[in-house]
Structure 1
Amino acid sequence: MARAIAPTRSNLLKLKDELKFATLGHELLDQKRSILIVELLTLVDQAVEYQARVDKALALASDSMQHTVMEMGRLRVANLFGAVTIDSSIELSDRKVMGVRLPRVETSFVEKGPYFSPEGTTLAVEDTLEAYRDALKLMGRLAELKVSIMRLAREVKKTIRKVNALEKIVIPELDETLAYTRGRIEEAERESFMLMKQVKKRMDRQREKDAEGRE
């Protein structure tokens, strides 16, 4: 629906500028949408891969723990792992994709061994610790991917709404208003031209009468 606007040359120029700006904004937002969707799909693929790796790592860690318990006994294993002191740290940073902040998660471990005397223990203990450390590192990366996916999905949704608003509402309305205003101006100019022609004819006839009267 065309906007109510005075059909003047200055308003026509303003409408042309608005339409040019809206069209450029639509193109840029459409490019942003495409880039965000590509990044989103890439992260989804990675998340699927890391989810499988986390599931496998946790299963391996659980199997390793069960093997250790079978070798050493539940009480002995509980006492040994109760003595384990490993400091873990999670370093958070971020990166930007088209203005969207995406997290980076770096998980690290600082060991303060030996935790226990090697006497009466087996290598299965170390294997179990290593298995759980690997699983935790993978879980940190998976958390990074999942948060990034949620943020990108929100931004894609917002960008799509803006693109649709420009494409289906703003630009068509400006096109219609521009065409209406141009038509009104052309019509007014035609009417003005016809009026000037009529005035000229009357003036010409009046000059002819005046000339005949002088004769």
Structure 2
Amino acid sequence: MAGGGIAPTKTNLLKLKNELEFARLGYDLLDQKRNILINELLNLIDQTVDYQEKVDTALAEAYSSYQSAALAMGKRRTVSIASAVNISSSIKISERRIMGVSLPQVETSYQEHPPYFSPLDTSFWIDISISRFKTALELMGRLAELKISIMRLANEVKKTIRKVNALEKIAIPDLQETVRFISSRLEENERDMIILMKMVKNRLEKKKR
């Protein structure tokens, strides 16, 4: 129902106009936030597709080089050498913020303790395998970062869209309707008051005659 039980006074009208202006400002800000988040989300999706291909390629190349080493030296010798490799890895997770949304940043680093094995009777494919698996792990860390960021951004986009729709389709129209109703009632009251004042004036003038 128009008016929502609010008394049609100038004070209430001013208050509702301020609320309407605030709601419109909130809508504009949320609409901008939605657009920024969607653009960032689309950008991350493109990057994720690219990195997924990079990870698939890197893993395929890493396993291929390991198989080449096994063919060159024998599986048992390759496993023995691989177990002697002394490389520790660490993953540092920091964060960046986009429109208040916390997104992870993954940084992979390695600490190596060579030599791992004697170079005698060792295939060069072992060194290539080590390098390729390190590259693959770094790419997987970046891919995980992108996928988590996409999930968080997508969730925030959904919440922002719900807020934008609520303002656009419910809150702002309701406020506009109430403002129109109260303005109409005040104008009507003013007209009634003018008519009443004229009647009083006429009656007073008649009494003076």
Q: TM-score, normalised by structure 2?
A: 0.98
Shift of 1:84: 1.2
- What's the RMSD between the two structures over aligned residues? 0.8
Report SS of the residue matched to 2:150: helix
Structure 2 residue 96 is the aligned partner of structure 1 residue 95 = yes
* Match runs of 1:177-188 below 5 Å: 177-188=178-189
Report SS of the residue matched to 1:14: helix
* Match runs of 1:16-31 below 5 Å: 16-31=17-32
* Match runs of 1:194-209 below 5 Å: 194-208=195-209
Residue aligning to 1:125: 126
What letter corresponds to residue 142 of structure 1 in structure 2? L
Residue aligning to 1:157: 158
Aligned counterparts of 1:149 and 1:195: Cα–Cα separation in 2? 66
Shift of 1:192: 1.1
The structure that has the greater radius of gyration is 1
Q: TM-score, normalised by structure 1?
A: 0.95
Shift of 1:206: 1.1
Could you give the per-residue CA deviations for residues 120-141 of structure 1, whole angstroms, max 9, x where no partner exists? 2111110111110000000011
* Match runs of 1:37-76 below 5 Å: 37-76=38-77
Shift of 1:52: 0.2
Residue aligning to 2:147: 146
Residue aligning to 2:172: 171
What letter corresponds to residue 125 of structure 1 in structure 2? I
Residue aligning to 1:79: 80
Shift of 1:163: 0.4
Report SS of the residue matched to 1:172: helix
What letter corresponds to residue 122 of structure 1 in structure 2? S
Aligned counterparts of 1:123 and 1:4: Cα–Cα separation in 2? 84
